[in-house]
A and B are shown apart, each in its own frame.
Chain A
């Protein structure tokens, strides 16, 4: 017993007093690298790594190297609050890019607030994420907008859609988005014929799909992530559903196409960004990403790429090696908060990003993509006037 404890103690001490490095700026990238949402974490990591490589190859930030610390929250709020405390109390970390899941962003918020460190999320779309905290920002739209957008798109742009069914992921993201969608759909006169839930990580949806089919909707809105959506589309077609499938940004991943195969054909989805709509920078990023990682980037990689870029810009303008960590962290927040007009906004691969008073990005449009010949392409008709 005693030997055990002594051993543990020695390992602990060695690690605690291991030597640190200097002349680095450390930024934490918190995302689900393990657990059910790990596929998203993987793309987030890759996007961040690409930006890090580019920054350091271009000479770093004012001569200092940028180091990213990838902190795993496993997609769970309980883990996220520990990760947050760990990041907040590391006096070398100046800012946080993350979290991905809305649950995690919310769990970390309180702690980041107390410590005074910026939380810039490249993926949390739940409406509440940016409410009530001056330290939380995100560089994409929120579900209130997205749900509304999808309802309008179904009603105004697509023809012949009278009745819709919602098939939603039974978690904060899926339910939040569904609530926003349902509220707007009822307002504009779409008939909601079914609203079925499914569990995250389940792989068999035939039961719910069969009962949705009996209601005979014109369109089915899948409010969830691609891991399940790809199977829903596939099993739905097998069950004989001919309705139009419509997904949200959670569906936006190349893996959706590989798993759903030919069943994915004709599926619409909304996304905060699409490489087709991006400019030359986006093309360049896509090429570099493929060269570094061997796979095509997705929306989340691009958004993370930009989030790291925003932190880099903030550091470049505000970092003062003589100031205390608290002052440096605060300076980053002040810089981000000052990006409140289109002129001052950050121009990245996903377009212009600037924040409103809450830290939400309100200017970014939602793009609609459609699956054609096994590829995501921008849909013919976009709906850009809706704000």
Chain B
């Protein structure tokens, strides 16, 4: 973020801004070549864009989780619960009550924040793994409520269908490239806010709490207040991601929000380097797309298709073995 406008950053910025065009451009080239019987194994621009949008959602979530895990140093194993709350708030409001997306999304963020504070309150005293297991328990609880209470969603298993795409000025945002710019704006906003928070009094207080809670308290930092703030901001970001994914996926069900997602997001934060926004984003970009990149026919041949998560695991182990401090930090 402190980079000057070098040619490298300008190119990067341009690529980010015009990524959908690039994808569709390659599609056209592939199409053109196929008329001359030249087949490239290009997986298709829409699919690539969808992976990228998903990776961006993971970036958003990783930045959010990084606030609790990276800045305040508390291990959160249940971050997915805010993702779920956001997703179902937007989903239920839009699909069942017909509320506009532009009203539902802020409401979802608010809802997430409230639960972030509620979950935070009893856990303020907890440290380390006791905090972790309580967050995990909370996530499981929400997961089961959505799954069991059929009246809430109106269908078994939290199966919510037909979430409408947002409309603005008569345009329906249902294409993958719409979603790309949509998430890009949200992501920029979140990164900006988090960055400003990190480099303010609040951010320094969080790091102080991470380094030594008692010392921080004796220096006059209101630990409870700053921890609660971290929980609230983090939860709000998670709910934002959930709200976005609900309209992006059109139909959601509870397995979207299972324990594995929490773990995956945590892996992203750690892989990138705890406490670094850029690290969280890099980690999310890698792990958020790795599952798809490792799908058969992409890099691995179809015969080894079932080895996808095996390779995923090996990559995790190797990355941690050789970069224990995360990708964004210098070698420990």
Contact = CB atoms under 8 A, between A and B. Distances in A.
A–B contact with Cβ pairs below 8 Å: the answer is yes
Nearest to B40: A17
B148 A170 contact: yes
A90 B150 contact: no
Interface string B20-57: 00000000001100100101111111110011001000
B255 A70 contact: no
Using C-beta atoms within 8 Å of the partner chain, give the interface range for chain B. 35 or more
11 contacts: A20-B39, A22-B37, A70-B296, A85-B50, A89-B43, A106-B251, A107-B253, A132-B162, A172-B156, A172-B159, A175-B156
Contact of A110 (B46, B147, B250, B302): B250
A89 B26 CA distance: 13
A297 B298 CA distance: 31
Nearest 6 pairs between A and B by C-beta?
Answer: A89-B44, A20-B39, A175-B156, A89-B47, A172-B157, A85-B50
Contacts of A70: 296, 302, 305
Interface residues of A, number: 46
A34 interface: yes
B156 A15 contact: no
A91 interface: yes
A12 B293 CA distance: 9
Contacts, number: 117
A3 to B, nearest CB: 12
A82 B292 contact: yes
Give the one of A72, A86, A176 with max B CB within 10 A.
A86
A224 to B, nearest CB: 12
A72 B161 contact: no
Nearest to A102: B159
A11 interface: yes
A15 B256 contact: no
Interface string A79-112: 0011001101111100000000001001101100
B41 A16 contact: yes
A33 B309 CA distance: 12
B299 interface: yes
B96 interface: no
Contacts of B41: 15-20
B47 A175 contact: no
Contact of A82 (B51, B148, B252, B253): B51
Nearest to B159: A172
Given A33-B306, A85-B46, A175-B156, 11 more contacts: A20-B40, A20-B41, A77-B251, A77-B252, A82-B51, A86-B295, A103-B255, A170-B157, A174-B156, A176-B156, A197-B148
B253 A88 contact: no
Contacts of B156: 171-172, 174-176, 179
A320 interface: no
Given A82-B51, A86-B47, A103-B255, A128 B157 contact: no
A174 to B, nearest CB: 8
B161 A128 contact: yes
Contacts of B45: 89
A15 B48 CA distance: 14
Contacts of B308: 34, 72
Contacts of A69: 297, 302
A375 interface: no
Nearest to B47: A89
B281 interface: no
B249 A72 contact: no
Given A72-B306, A89-B46, A77 B255 contact: yes
A312 interface: no
B327 interface: yes
